[in-house]
């Protein structure tokens, strides 16, 4: 009993921390969040960005709120929730589904850290399941902004901005924390499959991201390797599906009560 | 009722098949099944029906290799997908439509 109390007390003090691996002199970096969510659109997009921009791992998340999991890649031991970047960009990604218990601390800590490195903006990449995704060749991308002043950021690039509705899940918490912390934030949301990895949705997210940031992102390799990605991401999709119901993604698409 | 014992296709002899990701939707009159089949071409898909289940089998265009860690390291390779989907209601196997697009199989079957 005493031991349990001690453990809980210890956990509540520092349940999560960002551990730096490299000392980077950031220059108002743009942060891009692509944690696993619907169709893994954001996760696939963030992993493609890391590879195509050749970003290095600069930090990782250490926390007692997830199971004791490490990842091995090419013989190298890595933490599953990692931060990549250079002086201009920060990319957040994870190879495990993020449990609900982790999300509040994670989003709070990450946004605090982004402010401490003078990040200029956070862009969350995610998917929204659509029933007719099977029939859609080119998934549409929508946007949500943390403050109304940022609508222009999206509308000048012809990205439709959500005006009414619920948003939920990891990106909703990121937007909430950014709003509290005064960090400009937008979410790009691509029409996506619910139960399969969706590299096509990820490619559309990256195409929209490239127009917003005015940078080149080559999505051709992503589309060419779509079949391989769909196979490799099967287990993460299943994990995310087990976790996602607890993040209330099912309320999206419903109308909120308040009206003007 | 399950599938007949005397399935005569080569699929029955295939061990270590991959299980595809599946999404099942239900309307008042039909079931829609969506099956993710990367590396599969349309002509290598076989679907069989019983009165309350579907058996989906497909051959990939290449051998898929996985290295998995569990209690012991396990290498797995397969060229086939196989999945039995139990349905919560009887269906009419004669009233089926299907299409295959971008590696996703859609099957629509009417309820009895």
Q: What is the predicted pLDDT for the residue at A244?
A: 66
pLDDT, averaged across chain B: 84
A78-92, A132-146, A199-213, B9-23: range with lowest mean pLDDT: B9-23
Query: Can you tell me the distance from the alpha carbon of A185 to that of B83, in angstroms, rounded to the nearest whole number?
Result: 42
* Domains of chain A, residue spans: 15-251
Q: Tell me which chain B residues have a C-beta less than 8 angstroms from the C-beta of A131.
A: 25
| Residues on chain B touching A196 (C-beta within 8 angstroms) | 21, 23, 34, 36, 104
Smallest Cβ–Cβ distance between B23 and the set A194, A228, A234 belongs to A194
Alpha-carbon distance values, A244 to A55, A160, A190, B79, B87 (Å): 28, 25, 17, 31, 24
- Which residues of A make CB contacts under 8 Å with B? 72, 131, 134, 193-197, 200, 226-228, 230-231, 234, 237-238
DSSP string, B8-21: -SGGGG--SPBPPP
ipTM of the complex: 0.78
- Distance between CA atoms of B11 and B56, rounded to whole angstroms? 10
How far apart CA A173 and CA A245 sit, in angstroms, is: 15
Distance set, CA B103 to CA B41, B45, B81, B88, B106 (Å)? 7, 11, 12, 26, 10
pLDDT of residue A5: 39
Q: Does B34 touch chain A (CB under 8 A)?
A: yes
Domains of chain B as residue ranges with CATH = 16-111 (2.60.40.790)
The answer to whether the CB atoms of B34 and A195 lie below 8 A apart is yes
Q: Does the beta carbon of B100 lie under 8 angstroms from any beta carbon of chain A?
A: no
Stretch 65-84 of chain B: residues touching chain A, C-beta under 8 Å: 69
pLDDT tens-place string over residues A238-247:
888 887 665 6
> What pLDDT was estimated at residue A2?
40
Three-state SS across chain A? CHHHHHHHHHHHHCCEEEEECCCCCCCCCEEEEECCCHHHHHHHHHHHHHHHCCCEEEEEEEECCCCCCCEEECCEEECCEEEEECCCEEEEEECCCCCHHHHHHHHHHHHHHHHHCCCCEEEEEEEEECCCHHHCCCCCEEEEECCHHHHHHHHCCCCEECCCCCCCCHHHHHHHHHHHHCCCEEEEEEEECCCCCCHHHHHHHHHHHHHHHCCCCCCHHHHHCHHHHHHHCHHHHHHHHHHHHHHCHHHCCCCCCCCC
* Greater pLDDT, A162 or B16: A162
Poorest-pLDDT segment among A191-195, A218-222, A255-259, B101-105 = A255-259
Q: What is the pLDDT of residues A8-33, one digit of tens each?
A: 444 445 689 999 999 999 999 999 99
Q: Which of B18, B36, B24 lies closest to B103 in space, CA to CA?
A: B36
Q: Which residue of B has its CA nearest to A138?
A: B102
A9, A162, B77, B88, B103 from A226: Cα distances, Å? 45, 28, 19, 33, 10
Q: Is B30 in the A-facing interface, judged by CB distances under 8 Å? A: no
Q: Nearest to residue A243, comparing CAs of A113, A67, A75, A77?
A: A67
Average pLDDT, chain A: 89
How far apart are the C-alpha atoms of A144 and A32, rounded to whole Å? Answer: 14
Q: What top-level class would CATH report for the domain A15-251?
A: alpha beta
Closest CA to A41 of A245, A196, A219, A220: A196
CB of A194 within 8 A of CB of A39? yes
Separation in Å, CA of B6 to nearest CA in chain A: 31
Q: How many other β-carbons are positioned within 10 Å of the β-carbon of residue A25?
A: 6
pLDDT score for A140: 95
Q: Rounded to 5 degrees, what angle do the CA atoms A102, A107, A110 make?
A: 115
- CA–CA gap between residue A58 and residue A40 (Å, rounded): 23
Cβ contact B104–A196 (<8 Å): yes
Contacts of B62 in chain A (CB under 8 A): none
The pLDDT value recorded for residue B75 is: 72
């Amino acid at each position: 009993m005493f031991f349990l109390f001690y453990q809980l007390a210890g956990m509540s003090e520092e349940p999560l921390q960002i551990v730096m691996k490299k000392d980077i002199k950031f220059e108002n970096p743009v942060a891009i969040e692509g944690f696993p969510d619907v169709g893994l659109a954001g996760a696939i997009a963030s992993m493609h960005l890391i590879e195509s921009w050749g970003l290095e791992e600069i930090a990782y998340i250490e926390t007692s709120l997830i199971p004791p999991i490490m990842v091995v890649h090419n013989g190298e031991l890595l933490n599953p929730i990692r931060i990549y970047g250079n002086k201009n960009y920060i990319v957040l990604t994870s190879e495990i589904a993020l449990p609900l218990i982790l999300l509040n601390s994670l989003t709070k800590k990450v946004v605090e850290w982004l402010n401490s490195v003078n990040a200029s903006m956070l862009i969350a990449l995610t998917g929204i399941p659509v029933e007719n995704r099977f029939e859609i060749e080119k998934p549409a991308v929508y946007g949500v902004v943390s403050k109304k002043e940022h609508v222009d950021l999206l509308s000048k690039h012809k990205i439709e901005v959500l005006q009414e509705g619920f948003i939920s899940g990891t990106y909703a918490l990121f937007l909430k924390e950014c709003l509290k912390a005064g960090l400009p934030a937008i979410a790009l949301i691509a029409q996506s499959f619910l139960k399969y990895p969706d590299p096509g949705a990820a490619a559309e997210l990256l195409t929209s991201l490239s127009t917003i940031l005015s940078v080149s992102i080559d999505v051709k390799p992503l589309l060419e390797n779509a079949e391989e990605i769909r196979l490799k991401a099967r287990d993460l999709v299943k994990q995310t599906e087990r976790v996602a119901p607890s993040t209330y993604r099912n309320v999206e698409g419903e109308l909120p009560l308040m009206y003007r | 009722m399950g599938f007949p014992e005397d399935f005569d296709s080569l699929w029955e002899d295939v061990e270590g098949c991959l299980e595809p990701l599946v999404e099942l939707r239900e309307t008042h009159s039909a079931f829609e099944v969506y099956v993710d089949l990367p590396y599969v071409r349309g002509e290598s898909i076989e679907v069989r029906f019983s009165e309350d289940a579907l058996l989906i089998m497909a051959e990939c265009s290449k051998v898929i290799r996985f290295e998995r860690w569990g209690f012991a390291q396990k290498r797995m390779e397969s060229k086939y997908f196989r999945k039995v989907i139990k349905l919560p209601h009887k269906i009419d196997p004669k009233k089926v439509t299907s299409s295959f697009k971008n590696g996703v199989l859609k099957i629509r079957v009417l309820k009895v």
